[in-house]
Structure 1
Amino acid sequence: MELYMKNYEKWVNDSFIDEKTKKELEEIKDNKSEIEDRFYQDLEFGTAGLRGKIGAGTNRMNEYVIARATQAFANVINKHGEDFAKRGIAIAYDCRLFSPEFAKQTALVMAANGIKAYLFESLRPTPELSYAVRYYNCSAGVNITASHNPKDYNGYKAYWQEGSQIKSDIANMILEEISKIESFSEVSIMGENEALKKGLLEYIGKEVDDSYINEVKGVSIRDKELDKSIKIIYTPLNGAGNIPVRRVLSEMGYENVFVVKEQEQPDGTFPTIEYPNPEDLKAFEYAEKLADEVDGELLIATDPDCDRLAVQIRHNGKITPLNGNQTGVILINYILSSLKEKNRIPENPVIVKSIVTGDMGTAIAKDYGVEMINVLTGFKNICALPNEYDKTKEKNFIMGYEESIGYAIGTFVRDKDAVSASLMLAEAAAFYKAQNKTLIDVLNDLFEKYGYYQENTISLVLEGIEGQKRIKRMMEQYREKYPNNIGSSNLMKKIDYEIQISTDISSGKESKIDIEKTDALKFLFDDGCWYALRPSGTEPKIKLYVYSKANTLELAQEKLKEFEKDVLEKLHSIE
């Protein structure tokens, strides 16, 4: 019998599995491909925690997979010592289906293992979970969210004591503990009443909300100087951002905030959109309509767990989107120019970005004497640096950002934060409006000064077992065979992050790179153009990041298209 069938039978016959779940499994008994997809592997616990489709099975998000992962996480926390475990764990959740149930179960498994759970009374944004870990000086945190995945997904993000997501060292310990749990009978769980009575479960809310909101308001640089009459259109995309984003903008005096009614209330079915990702322009359909009705100037959208922010601008009467890189450089330029004017740039200042984020921000930072540091993708890597600086006092972290619309301003949260980014974007837009400029005007000014940077991210979605295998083949074959020239651009350097080697193409000389190992490739050309390839860590896709640079917008766009065409042809040819 195939392993996936053995796993299926084990679940069907396990006395700890409830009847509702068994009925769900009984309904697929004649569908071998569905059984295989649900049971061919355990849903992998990586540095992003767990993420997958909701349903019964080892390769799905459900109460049993969560209970086992939480038992393993509790074991790891307890192995760090009694004093460490006594600090407890903060737990939050977003609007997704079963998020409240999964969060409560996480809390009750932790409680059964002697670890106090601080559980939010209702949904909260991801950055507030990070803040709560720090607020209560917890040893760890968990957020039940699948970020911007489709509605049939949910997830489990694990955090460590600094308030940032766990890195591979802790993830590997949790994985090892998971592997030791052979039966659900080995998972401890406590009743809610008992946990409350023993002080091992505490519901939290307003106190943390107020403290977090005050910290967010503190990122403002020009609060008292601004005319805040700018018309802002906001959509939380039926997620967790509705209350905190609106509260911050209101308390800071932005009274012309119009909320998209159809996407205002939390709803894990996301009734207006197929894919609740604000990077997808379709997510702005309702916001654009409202903007046209009220002559909105700044359009902002946050994803379901409110850690990512997308932006559109009314410019010359037309609504124009900004991508993540462009929003990032506008923020960098506004923050650094404002801090310089007020003589507030700290000593040894740094901004941190991912290896697949564009280079325009680096050029701007350099102008202000600010160091740009590149790390692997993910805010667990970006926020590892302020965690380090807390101890060494060596440098001062100003902000971190990624091309995938994630921004962290300041150090009070150790994850991307769309609440503080919303406030800072509103402030920048209001500031430049007083100069008769939109944020598109500002971007064009930056292009004139630093060169025309263009970019695109293309995702090839390849689902299931065969898709996983093909992504692996693509990475393996592309490592061996890649173009040395694309149009007039000549390859200068290849970086293979899996073997941590940078190769100079003309000399063949290899040098070690000081960055963690990951499955990614980057190709840099002599004219400032480059592209990178990596499998997604959270979704069944391989991602291509393409960047061009030229003296004119037209030439930059032309180069971008050349790169996209050439690389995609080679990828598609790999069966």
Structure 2
Amino acid sequence: MSIQDRYRLWSENSYFDEETRLELKNIIDPQEIEERFYTDLEFGTGGLRGIIGAGTNRMNKYVIRKVTQGLAECVCDQGEEGMKRGVVIAYDSRRFSPEFALEAALVLARNGIKVYLFEALRPTPELSFAVRYLQALAGIVVTASHNPKSYNGYKVYWEDGGQVPPAKADQILARINARESWLGIETLSVEEAKQLGLLQIIGQDIDEPYLARVHELVLYPELDKQKGKDLKIVYTPLHGAGNMLVRKALAELGFSSVTVVAEQEHPDPNFTTVPYPNPEIPATFELARKYGNNLEADLLLATDPDADRLGVALRTPEGDYVQLTGNQIGIILTYYILSQKKALGILPDNAAIIKTVASTDLADQVAQYFNVRAENVLTGFKFIAEKEKEMEEGGWGSFQFGFEESYGYLAGDFVRDKDAIIASVILAEAALYYQQVEKRNFFAVLDSIYQQFGYYLEDQESLTFEGKRGKEEIALIMDSFRNLDIHEMCGILIGRVDDYEQRMGKDLRTGENYSLKLPRSNVLRYSFAEGGFVMVRPSGTEPKIKFYFSVKGATLEEAEDLLHGVKEDVMFRIAKIRAGEL
């Protein structure tokens, strides 16, 4: 069908509700119609993410229906047992999240599939836990994570609690694409689904066993119980799903001095107090800082709308707050877990950590020091979860901790995705341990790590290119970098270049080519000879191209200068590429 045929179908056919048809008929800009209908919203990296609105390239209930019908057919392929095991559905605080979740539930029920639907918003990691705990075949979470308020999304999980693996995602996509018509996908009513036993509402019956497993991860429960009240924490859920579980998890362990940012405590789909609800950006901590200053809090914690990412800011001796990077949080947690498990005599001989290739190589150095295996995977927490499963099933590694630089962390074996509740608990305990036992704060801990292994500093830049033309711009930048023969950046020699799209690497010092074992992905990584890297890749969930920077210096000042220089070098190259000069 042409763009105009699609537009006429959606704006005229009575299958689409009056609100949808009216929204489309009121569009007067032909380019807006093209953007909404030139393609279908892409089912990639285990789900969808897009701007809310009417059209095939937008997030709406009809797109939800079509995608869910594809998933339903794959569930039905597993026979009656798979249909009885069913699908768990959770959602966050975004616009239409409850409605999209219910729409998916009722499409599944229409196909005879059992559905477990959370009674209210819940974190993404709890959805992962629930799939495993209920022994369901699959899971869905309606969320756009930390994206702007205009977005929503839909992520699919499989029976191990991890995001749907590539082979299964391909099967779902094939079913979605096989259905050419947007019409005729129907739902059951809520009453009928309940009467047939196909819709079960869940909530506290999942919360309690989930929190029980979270509590098992702490290393010093008696210290937490006795001294937890002495650690002053300010917490903001950023209007999202983390509020209840983060507070409950901390309180039950003994962290009773937790103050919630009242203005950001309750769900708000417009996220009115922040530019957008991403704990990576400093603006999300603006209100928390005010609370912290008034209370002289030790820690500021922020979770994103679906509570799978955690941001942290620390109180300085001068009374201000400094936000940690995702890599710094990951290093603190890695060091704390490995060092304290070793001290307690509970670090397994085959212990392993997992991180992404976009995350700091300092973690590899720390792991090596503790004689712990470090596995590197592609960007995206699903790959960390897949590697954890591979270790578990193969019996060749005992997973201790996993992280990615974009504020995602995981410990334990009962969740297969990044988990801000788990991270909040372990981080609070680590802060308490260093405060009470070693009489130092996280700044001192980080500095001692840097002194031992080198000053690694990281940063990231993202360029946003919306729509069809944006995709072409991103492709141009990637192709140009791939074709450039780059041997240094800001005078720092590059030791290796890894092209994960070609699954080939080259050692620039020897000229040797080698194969890469990780799956094919549109990623380029330039590793500096003396430590650190630059990495470039398009985002799998947003209209962005991302650049990751990591440098290693002998001192903090040297590392800061190197980081500034490398970033300037790369941004200059991008400007020349876009101007057609490279």
Using the size of structure 2 for normalisation, the TM-score is 0.97
Partner of 1:531: 534
Equivalent-residue separation in structure 2 for 1:9 and 1:400 (angstroms): 48
Partner of 1:237: 238
Residues 18-40 of structure 1, C-alpha deviations (whole Å, 9 max, x = no match) = 11110001110x21011111111
Equivalent-residue separation in structure 2 for 1:108 and 1:33 (angstroms): 34
Secondary structure at the residue paired with 1:524? strand
Equivalent-residue separation in structure 2 for 1:388 and 1:194 (angstroms): 41
Secondary structure at the residue paired with 2:577? coil
Secondary structure at the residue paired with 1:310? strand
Partner of 1:35: 33
Partner of 2:304: 303
Residues 258-281 of structure 1, C-alpha deviations (whole Å, 9 max, x = no match) = 110100001111110121000000
Partner of 2:433: 431
164, 167, 170: which one aligns with 1:169: 167
Partner of 2:4: 5
Partner of 1:492: 495
Taking the TM superposition and a 5 Å limit, the aligned residue runs for 1:98-113 are 98-113=96-111
**How many residues are matched?**
573
Using the size of structure 1 for normalisation, the TM-score is 0.98
Q: Which amino acid aligns with 2:385?
A: C
Partner of 2:559: 556
Moved more, 296-305 or 313-322: 313-322
Taking the TM superposition and a 5 Å limit, the aligned residue runs for 1:313-392 are 313-316=314-317, 317-392=319-394
Secondary structure at the residue paired with 1:458? strand
178, 181, 185: which one aligns with 2:179: 181
Partner of 2:209: 211
Moved more, 203-212 or 310-319: 310-319
Aligned-residue Cα RMSD (Å) equals: 1.2
In the TM superposition, residue 482 of structure 1 has moved relative to its aligned partner by 4.4
Equivalent-residue separation in structure 2 for 1:225 and 1:253 (angstroms): 9
Equivalent-residue separation in structure 1 for 2:380 and 2:282 (angstroms): 23
Equivalent-residue separation in structure 1 for 2:571 and 2:486 (angstroms): 12
In the TM superposition, residue 204 of structure 1 has moved relative to its aligned partner by 0.4
In the TM superposition, residue 349 of structure 1 has moved relative to its aligned partner by 1.2
Q: Which runs of 5+ in 2 are unaligned?
A: none
In the TM superposition, residue 368 of structure 1 has moved relative to its aligned partner by 1.1
Q: Which amino acid aligns with 1:10?
A: L
Q: Identity of paired residues, percent? A: 44
Equivalent-residue separation in structure 1 for 2:392 and 2:335 (angstroms): 25
In the TM superposition, residue 84 of structure 1 has moved relative to its aligned partner by 2.4
Partner of 2:55: 57
Partner of 2:19: 20
Equivalent-residue separation in structure 2 for 1:78 and 1:386 (angstroms): 28
Partner of 1:132: 130
Equivalent-residue separation in structure 1 for 2:161 and 2:552 (angstroms): 37
Q: Which runs of 5+ in 1 are unaligned?
A: none
Equivalent-residue separation in structure 1 for 2:478 and 2:461 (angstroms): 15
In the TM superposition, residue 390 of structure 1 has moved relative to its aligned partner by 3.4
Taking the TM superposition and a 5 Å limit, the aligned residue runs for 1:188-203 are 188-203=186-201
1:88 aligned to 2:86?
yes
Equivalent-residue separation in structure 1 for 2:460 and 2:490 (angstroms): 20
Partner of 2:451: 448
2:361–2:532 CA contact under 8 A, matched in 1: no
1:48–1:538 CA contact under 8 A, matched in 2: no
1:116 aligned to 2:114?
yes
Secondary structure at the residue paired with 1:573? helix
In the TM superposition, residue 507 of structure 1 has moved relative to its aligned partner by 3.4
Residues 169-219 of structure 1, C-alpha deviations (whole Å, 9 max, x = no match) = 111111111112122334242111111011110000111000001111111
1:534–1:543 CA contact under 8 A, matched in 2: yes
1:158–1:166 CA contact under 8 A, matched in 2: yes
1:25–1:56 CA contact under 8 A, matched in 2: yes
1:460 aligned to 2:468?
no
Equivalent-residue separation in structure 1 for 2:208 and 2:471 (angstroms): 44
In the TM superposition, residue 46 of structure 1 has moved relative to its aligned partner by 0.6
Equivalent-residue separation in structure 1 for 2:291 and 2:308 (angstroms): 23
Equivalent-residue separation in structure 2 for 1:321 and 1:482 (angstroms): 36
Q: Which amino acid aligns with 2:220?
A: R
Secondary structure at the residue paired with 1:57? coil
Residues 507-539 of structure 1, C-alpha deviations (whole Å, 9 max, x = no match) = 332111110000000001211131000000111
Equivalent-residue separation in structure 2 for 1:170 and 1:455 (angstroms): 35
In the TM superposition, residue 550 of structure 1 has moved relative to its aligned partner by 1.3
2:360–2:532 CA contact under 8 A, matched in 1: no
Residues 113-165 of structure 1, C-alpha deviations (whole Å, 9 max, x = no match) = 11100000000001000000001100000000000000010000000000010
Equivalent-residue separation in structure 2 for 1:487 and 1:94 (angstroms): 43
491, 514, 517: which one aligns with 1:514: 517
Partner of 2:406: 404
